[in-house]
Amino acid sequence: FEDVSFAYRPGLPVVLKGISLDIKSQEKIGICGRTGAGKSTIMSALYRLNELSDGKIFIDGVDIGQIGLYDLRKKLSIIPQDPVLFRGTIRKNLDPFQEHPDELLWKSLVSGGAISAEEVEVVKGQKPDSIGSLSSMHKFHLDQKVEEEGANFSLGERQLLALTRALVRQSKILILDEATSSVDYETDNKIQSRIAAAFGDCTILCIAHRLKTILTYDRILVLEQGEIEEFDTPRSLYEKKDGIFRQMCIKSGINESDFE
Ligand code: ATP
Ligand code: MG
């Protein structure tokens, strides 16, 4: 990011204010900061929801403002705070343009944690019952029904599917916007450990509401009112007297031992 400023629409206030940062290939970056600090907006800027009011973003040396939106977005995988599913089936949600064989979709459901490795063979063989009801089938069976906006799935389940979709797409850049509150600690932990296992060779930006989830990340970016307040390894930020990250850690009951 080179001096990036971003507003959602012309006339609206600038939300990111001259952000410059350099993220290395395969680096895992945790992003934190107060509500409204501009964390999710980093994602909007990368996705080019609107053009930058100033500055440039480069991926592998390519100015993303100079390439087509389709080419850009194809290369990014995004798991938003509140993922939307479309009406149809799990299969259609994982692979809307039918570009991949079922085998890859099943495999991704397993590596994403939606279906366990032990049960997947049984799940594959499941069929609707005699009156055509799908309720006897696994929740994440490829033929399982998804209602409008994924209404029959919980927020945690929708994030799990968005994660699976990212696995199917095999992109090298993953941006994860942790659900604010509704996902329980266990689901959150499960999603995080799946990510660590499945996206080891990818660059990850994780917007975290639970600091614990990003303590193992390479570096932490702390945003405050659209500006970079701190950007360093979790450990050095924790050791920084009067640092924002340190204060946030103390408030969430994180101490020395959590860094070991
Ligand atoms: P949270 O922790 O609550 O998710 P955040 O750090 O992700 O907060 P952003 O969503 O990036 O915060 O919002 C930063 C600023 O941009 C806020 O002032 C917000 O009101 C504004 N904003 C966010 N989304 C839009 C939008 N679609 N249109 C206009 N303004 C927006
Ligand atoms: Mg947000």
**Tokens linked to 26:** 């395969």
134 backbone dihedrals φ, ψ, rounded to 5°:
-95, 0
Of the pLDDT bands very low, low, confident and very high (cuts 50, 70, 90), residue 183 is low
Indicate the pLDDT class of residue 61, thresholds 50, 70 and 90. Answer: very high
Nearest atom within ligand 1 for CA of residue 207: 7
Best probe residue, ligand 1, of 5, 15, 79 (max atoms within 8 Å of C-beta): 15
pLDDT tens column, 225-250: 999 999 999 999 999 999 999 999 99
Q: What is the mean pLDDT of residues 194-215?
A: 88
* Residue nearest ligand 1's atom 26 by CA: 8
Ligand nearest to the CA of 37: 1
Please tell me the predicted confidence (pLDDT) of residue 128: 87
**pTM to 2 decimals?**
0.88
Q: Sheet containing 14-19: give its strands across.
A: 14-19, 2-7, 54-56
Residue 246 token pair: 């340190």
